Amino acid sequence: MFFFIGAGAIVTSVATPTADVVPIALAHGLALAVAVSAFGALSGGHFNPAVTFGLAVAGKHPWDRVPTYWIAQLAGGLVAGFALRYAFDFSPSAADRTHLGTPSLAPGVGQPEAIVIEAILTLFLLWAVFGTAISPLAPRIAGFGIGLTVAADILMGGPVTGAAMNPARWFGPAVAAGFYDNGLVYWIGPLLGAAIAGLSYRYVFAPDEDRAPPRPPTPQA
């Protein structure tokens, strides 16, 4: 992760030299850090179908609740997308040029490599989720660690693929803007990376006590 993000950011700065990605990375990272800290105790603070999927693969979220979480996340994305459309009605040219912030691929970037990049960035994000929020050994810095990971991912991948790492992040603005180019990238890549992260946590990284099946309740006398 350290080398991919660090070295990748150098390549990105040359490949897309006009991209001013720092404020974008900070906006996403800070907002997510606060959101996870504020709502994590209420719902787990996923905000991302890939996170929900990865946790389910790892056995840390019930599969029968995945559809309801996905519906809520996509609905939240839609509300945000149309709220942006309304908020930036005063500058329709900016809204049109950015497609309301819908992630998109840089010129020359094909879908296969974009899927790989999105998968790797999402893998790093899910590892941060497992390492700071899910593991029983985790330091309780979930919002801080997850937000910083998103910011770092965007610094490297933002100008290349948009670094969505989140199907809902693509879906909401895309629908509001009517811009669906390369939509499969933002579903396949994040879900693939999340699945790899979930499997790696479940079978490699999880502490022994977190791999054991839950014990049945002790009968009360």
Residue 19: the pLDDT is: 65
Report d(CA 138, CA 133) in Å as an integer. Answer: 6
Q: What local confidence, expressed as pLDDT, does residue 141 receive?
A: 86
pTM of whole model > 0.75?
yes
Output the pLDDT for position 139: 81
Angle (nearest 5°) at CA 191 between 187 and 192:
115
Q: What is the pLDDT of residue 104?
A: 92
Q: What is the pLDDT of residue 221?
A: 43
Express each pLDDT in 37-60 by its tens digit: 888 888 889 999 999 999 999 999
Are the CB atoms for 189 and 119 separated by under 8 Å?
yes
Give percent of the chain with pLDDT exceeding 70: 88
Q: What pLDDT sits at residue 90?
A: 86
pLDDT in the model for residue 55: 96
Domains of the chain in sequence order: 19-206 (1.20.1080.10)
> What's phi and psi for 217, nearest 5 deg?
-65, 145
Q: Please answer whether residues 36 and 45 qualify as being in contact, where contact means their C-beta atoms are separated by less than 8 angstroms.
A: yes
57: CB partners within 8 A, 6+ apart = 194, 195, 197, 198, 199, 202
Q: Could you report the average pLDDT of every consecutive run of 10 residues in the chain (221 residues)?
A: 67 70 88 90 92 96 96 94 89 87 93 97 96 87 91 93 95 94 97 97 86 50 43
Q: What is the pLDDT of residue 5?
A: 66
- Given this model, what pLDDT does residue 184 score? 97
